[in-house]
Amino acid sequence: MTIDFNKGDGLVPVVIQDDQTLEVLMLGYMNEEAWTKTQAENRVTFYSRSKNRLWTKGEESGNFLNVVSSHIDCDQDTLLIKVNPIGPTCHTGNRSCFNTDYNQNFLLKLEEIVKNRFDFPTDDSYVNRLRNKGINKIAQKVGEEAVETVIAALYETEKDFVNESSDLIFHLIVLLREKGISLKDIAKNLESRHQ
């Protein structure tokens, strides 16, 4: 598919989404030249309507948007670009230009953090210390946290239940990583069961 730059007088809207967390980071516009440069350099370049020129995101701040994948919509007049952002996306210093209070897809970011701890272990990392004890200890921690979550649900405060649930999910992510399984694998399996 090719992009139809004629519909918007030479410009198409571009939605920028974090490839790991799926959070929408910003909206910009591209002309054909910006699109060609983005493809060639694998860094997002927009056409700035206020500056009336090409503008590579991060050219001054260093907060580049490295392209992971690009998708054209069904009408061929809008782009979705999934990126690996280097630093905050918004000029205000916020992660996203949409100023959300929190990242509701933080589980995917947490999975990436755990992966990073596996790939680059350090002595002060809890994940590394747990992993050094072996898969039996990791699985045992998931079991302990599951029991504590059930107890909190039945007998403790909502805050306790949220905290125990968070511990359970964190340790489950570590166990999944140890087994080489991603949250995407789990999501695909759950989706297939739903059909």
Q: Which of 54, 85, 116 is the last residue of a domain?
A: 85
Q: Which of 56, 85, 114 is the last residue of a domain?
A: 85
Q: Confirm if 13 and 80 have CB atoms less than 8 A apart.
A: no
- Containing structural domain, residue 64: 6-85
| Res 103: pLDDT | 66
Q: Residue 98 domain-assigned?
A: no
Using a cut of 0.85, tell me whether the model's pTM lies above it. no
The reply to whether 76 falls in a domain is yes
CB 14 within 8 A of CB 77: no
Residue 60 and residue 23 share a domain: yes
> What is the count of structural domains for the chain?
2
Over residues 108-158, the pLDDT tens digits come to 888 989 999 999 999 999 999 999 999 999 999 999 999 999 999 999 999
Within a domain: residue 93? no
The Cα 83–Cα 17 span in angstroms is 6
12-25 pLDDT tens trace: 999 999 998 888 99
pLDDT in tens, 69-93: 999 999 999 999 999 999 889 888 8
CATH number at residue 63: 3.10.20.810
| Domain finish residue from 55, 85, 115 | 85
Where does the chain have alpha helices with state H?
Answer: 32-41, 106-119, 126-132, 135-155, 158-178, 183-194
Distance CA(29)–CA(38), nearest Å, equals 12
Residues 109 and 182 occupy one common structural domain:
yes
Give domain status of residue 90, yes or no.
no
Q: Specify whether 111 is located in the same domain as 184.
A: yes
Residues 84, 89, 93, 95: is their CA dihedral positive or negative?
Answer: negative
94 falls within a domain: no
Query: 72 and 119 share a domain?
Result: no
